[in-house]
Amino acid sequence: LGRATVERFAKSGARVVLCDLGTSKGADVSKELGGNVVYVPVDVTSEADVTKALEVAKEKFGRLDVAVNCAGTAVAFKTFNFNKKLPHKLEDFARVLTVNTVGTFNVIRLSAGLMGENEPNADGQRGVIVNTASVAAYDGQIGQAAYSASKGAVVGMTLPIARDLSTHGIRVVTIAPGLFDTPMLQALPEKVRAFLAKTVPFPQRLGYPAEYA
């Protein structure tokens, strides 16, 4: 979803700071899309990393108008596996919440500071922050306790944050997409992917990332 968003912005003429882990293909995507897309290796849970990305945005482009949160991770495990007599690993639960919820909030809180430096437009707006939750926030499935909790938290914090930042002209919105053909789902067996696609009322397929963007 993040790559599709970067591509959409770039094709629209926007100047973009692409943030992803150092192990990602971010540098390759940046080269592919041209000089208006700058890659910065970022772990969204790191204050130093996000701060560096914002510094690059200011140095290269002078301002920040839009921040889109797309970083995410998931783990599929039941609360307790009675066959193996194993409980859900607490560290796995914590990791998902740290990336999906804490990481999202980290980007929001730091981006707001730079956006707040913008001169407001005619409507008084200085910028917009877009977060990515999931339909799992409302309709979590078996084995999704950690993921659903993390995305439910993103939904839950959207309104209070929007109210916090509204007085400074910064809008905050959250999208809760359904099942999309992302690397996260591509890691699943084909049979599982086919089953998931059939759960979509119409059209019965996984969403294309470009549709999210």
Residues 100 and 70: beta-carbon distance below 8 Å: no
Coil/strand/helix, residue 175: strand
Determine the Cα–Cα distance for residues 213 and 5; give it in Å rounded to an integer: 5
Beta strand 170-175 with 37-41 is unpaired
Which of 65-99 are b and which e, b meaning 16 or more Cβ less than 10 Å from the residue's Cβ? bebbbbbbbbbebeeeeeeeeeebeeeebebbbbb
Please confirm, yes or no, whether 208 is among the known catalytic residues. Answer: no
Q: Does the bond joining 209 to the residue before it have cis omega, within 30 degrees of 0? A: no
Q: Which of 39, 147, 208, 212 is catalytic?
A: 147
Determine the Cα–Cα distance for residues 101 and 151; give it in Å rounded to an integer: 7
Tokens of residue 68, six digits: 């889109």
Residues assigned a catalytic role: 147
